[in-house]
Amino acid sequence: MDLLDTLTDKGLRRELPTREEALAVLATTDDELLDVVAAAGRVRRQWFGRRVKLNYLVNLKSGLCPEDCSYCSQRLGSKAEILKYTWLKPEQAAEAAAAGVAGGAKRVCLVASGRGPTDRDIDRVADTIAAIKDADEQVEVCACLGLLSDNQAERLKAAGADAYNHNLNTSESTYGDITTTHTYADRVDTVAKAHGAGLSACSGLIAGMGESDADLVDVVFALRELDPDSVPVNFLIPFEGTPLAEEWNLTPQRCLRILAMVRFVCPDIEVRIAGGREVHLRSMQPLGLHIANSIFLGDYLTSEGQAGQADLDMIKDAGFEVEGAEQTTLPRHRVTAAGGCGGASACGGHGEDAADACGTGACGPCGGHSATGADVEAEAAAGESDEARTDLVRVRRRGAGTELAPNA
């Protein structure tokens, strides 16, 4: 297909596709799906080899958020029966983080519900970062605390944070339909603050909220312009008790096309399959690994993911390898670029030579295992049904904020 050849060549050269090309990826047919995955897979292997970075979420403060984001189970007025608790103590958060690290995670994402942190909250998170790094200084720590005020990003950086996450979520033109208590511009400003403080910026989207193809392309192009180091792609988990509880708009095939479009637009950026992969990709999750190079291990903020060991088995069975703490996540040109990553440690570089940043033996466009063989056809075979799997939405009842062990 001329389209995929063009997109592959552009991805290997780090050249931005046109909006029309990005839209065309979302419009491909199911008969073309494996070709789309294979083309995106070539770009993924060029910049990230066959490594999969594992990230682990710790929900520091759950529920009771004053913001009205329609997709969120922690929103103002949510009737979702989620865990609700105030700030974990630093030692509690460090214990939760240690479970993820023991399971293979190299980045711990510290998340707290709310509009944004107070100065006292920044102090709490600083103490938590110190407790985590005291246990393992190589662990990357990403904070996700909402909208940042002036100098808060600098304080997090000084406390040892490596990255800051704040998602754009959807296009600017439709943002007001999803959230009214803050603006799209507020989110862009927070990502800019993280960049300005030298933190590795992490910003992504949520698919499946009723948006159009044009909305998806708009937000991904906006993300490319912001130039984050990582782009999490969330698939809406329609929680009962939220305004979007009935929005079951995704199929596994649709999710793969969205991931591929993101990879073509952001070829050398860490693309992470985030919340909702078990619910919407289901048995086609291994195909997603041919496109994305990063996932969350185990549970999410308020919902349960598949068992951590199942994640590890999936990665191994699909022919990929877990990225080690000694390996650098991003390609060399992003690590060494002025301002890129906010320093090598923010991207997993702990003294490793950047020439080996793509992993072992699979850097080139032909390196590694082809995504066009019988293995991916077998993985696709079980993904034909488009029925909503509401039974896969499970509220988290273990891990942080509970007396039960996490599933990492």
Query: Is residue 272 packed enough to be buried (19+ CB in 10 Å), middle (13-18) or exposed (0-12)?
Result: buried
Assign residue 173 a region (left: φ > 0; alpha: ψ between -120 and 50; beta: otherwise): alpha
Whether residue 72 is annotated as binding a ligand: the answer is: yes
Nearest-angstrom CA–CA distance, 5 and 307: 37
Answer yes or no: are the C-beta atoms of 290 and 376 closer than 8 Å.
yes
The set of long-range contacts for 303-306, using a CB threshold of 8 Å and a minimum separation of 24, is: 303/73, 303/237, 303/239, 303/275, 303/393, 303/394, 303/395, 303/396, 304/394, 304/395, 304/396, 304/397, 304/398, 304/407, 305/277, 305/278, 305/407, 306/278
Answer yes or no: are the C-beta atoms of 292 and 233 closer than 8 Å.
yes
Q: Which residues are catalytic?
A: 65, 69, 72, 109, 142, 202, 272
CB atoms within 10 A of CB 349: 21
Whether residue 202 is annotated as binding a ligand: the answer is: yes
Answer yes or no: are the C-beta atoms of 168 and 219 closer than 8 Å.
yes
Closest of 87, 19, 39, 38 to residue 59, by C-alpha: 87
Nearest-angstrom CA–CA distance, 17 and 251: 25
CB contact set of 44 (below 8 Å; sequence gap of 6+): 263, 271, 290, 291, 292, 293
Whether residue 255 is annotated as binding a ligand: the answer is: no
At 124 the three-state DSSP class reads helix
Nearest-angstrom CA–CA distance, 72 and 241: 10
Whether residue 142 is annotated as binding a ligand: the answer is: yes
Following DSSP, what letter does each residue of 321-342 receive, concatenated? EEPPTTS-SS-HHHHHSTTGGG
Whether residue 75 is annotated as binding a ligand: the answer is: no
Whether residue 272 is annotated as binding a ligand: the answer is: yes
Beta-sheet strands, E only, within 182-224: 200-202, 205-207
Q: How many residues are given for the chain? A: 408
Residues in the annotated binding site: 65, 69, 72, 109, 142, 202, 272
Residues in the annotated binding site for [2Fe-2S] cluster: 109, 142, 202, 272
Residues in the annotated binding site for [4Fe-4S] cluster: 65, 69, 72
